[in-house]
Chains A and B, each alone.
Chain A
């Protein structure tokens, strides 16, 4: 018996999924419904479902952002009217995606695909899905992090600099720093390269926040930020910085 969650902010949309799931009563048990990403996150943590039906456009944090915060993600079937290119990126990684309104036949196909999967396949797929979720275009404007049990949304404009911290990246803002389970390379790719520069193996800084750059030891420099933080700039980082600033 597999266990499933339905996450969608429109009650009627959840109703359709529940109704269609009646046909799979013997194979899939419905654990519950969630109104938004926060509830979804909590329920996933609590119940560890095998499958979620996930809407993309939801209040506060969207479906992709929610996935980013989940530690071990279940298999995902997207249910969405989101008809843009974004969904294409997940086509190969999610079990399936259903465009609202979808027919029962189409729904059955998606669920059968899920049921036919071996656990190993599912795990692999979920991993790649999480990776690509964080590259959705919605993510260029803000960074979603978890602090304890709370979810914090940091607009990219509030970020001062990023610092590598073992397997995590520490996102420094005026309100303090937050850890995110991602790599520096990931952020380097995600953030606008005209605003953020990776000046060092372990640092990405916001150009706007630089107040001055001082020479420091041989070949290296030190960038002083508005907040007073001193960030080491490597030789290659300095070259990159000069290129972006056009000097």
Chain B
């Protein structure tokens, strides 16, 4: 808003300067016709004041009313009318100020040229105003649009983060139900892990990135729960370079991918499964590689399980405006997902 005030006062200053310059030019011109400086000056001032009033009127008019496509003719009529009013004003006021007959004669003879110059000046003003105000309008619109987009994006990001598989939750609760009977301590431990994990998924804000160490701690909670569920069938291998520890990444980006890998791996074989995760720092990108075994012969099309990946892709796209940060490969019975997080 302050900015707008500034531009508005600057506009007024420009307007005033224009008026003064106009008056000076006119005075000089009329003086050139052989009239005294007094007559020339009064002619210049009166003419400029009238023209200024007309310009102010049309400008004000356009400020509150943007002409539609069909109403340009109205503006033209307005310009003609205002120019006419200015000319008529000169015709009656100027002889009244200086009752010199030669001068009166000059005024009457110069009416046509005065009318056209006034018309051009008013028209020019109208055009400038129209462009100026429509531009202001457009800027306002863009701002509003950007704000709306930001809101929608935040909401979408929020939703994407919330897409926790209810399956996971219900099955975990079922495991706790089993443990309560014969291993109450473990049941209690699992409740704490589950609570910590859920709390972690709730509080995180996408704009605030987390370090890899924090993200890993959160992921570990998830893995611990899954290991209780699947017992010895699930194994994990996590390795990362020391220098990656402080790398930053959006919160909860790893969990859906690992969840996908576990599901894909575990439901595609009856043997035990090793899901591996490796982090590296490469050319200012944190590169995360998640691998799980799979059976290309019987794997279902990844329709049902694909949410995790498409959700992550969408999030990366919203956060970094890039589509090339996630890739998947499938070969030699190993499915690999690689994500790259730009480090600033």
Contacts and interface: CB of A to CB of B under 8 A. Distances in A.
A142 B298 CA distance: 9
Interface stretch (B90-98, B207-215, B223-231, B330-338): B223-231
Interface in B246-299: 266-270, 297-298
A148 to B, nearest CB: 18
Interface of A: 9-13, 15-16, 19, 35-36, 38, 57-60, 81-83, 99-101, 138, 141-142, 153, 155
Interface residues on B, range: 20 to 34
A33 to B, nearest CB: 13
B245 interface: no
Contacts of B266: 9, 59
B171 interface: yes
B300 A141 contact: yes
Nearest to A20: B181
A16 B301 contact: no
Contact of B178 (A9, A12, A141, A142): A12
B179 interface: yes
Contacts, number: 76
Contacts of A15: 178, 181-182
B173 interface: yes
Contacts of A155: 297-298
Contacts of B297: 153, 155
A100 B170 contact: yes
17 contacts: A9-B230, A10-B174, A11-B231, A12-B174, A12-B178, A12-B231, A13-B178, A16-B177, A57-B267, A60-B269, A81-B167, A82-B167, A100-B170, A101-B173, A138-B300, A141-B303, A155-B297
Contacts of A60: 267-270, 298
B174 A101 contact: yes
Contacts of A83: 166-167, 170
Contact of A101 (B166, B170, B231): B170
A160 to B, nearest CB: 17
B230 A36 contact: no
A141 B179 contact: no
Contact of A36 (B170, B175, B270): B270
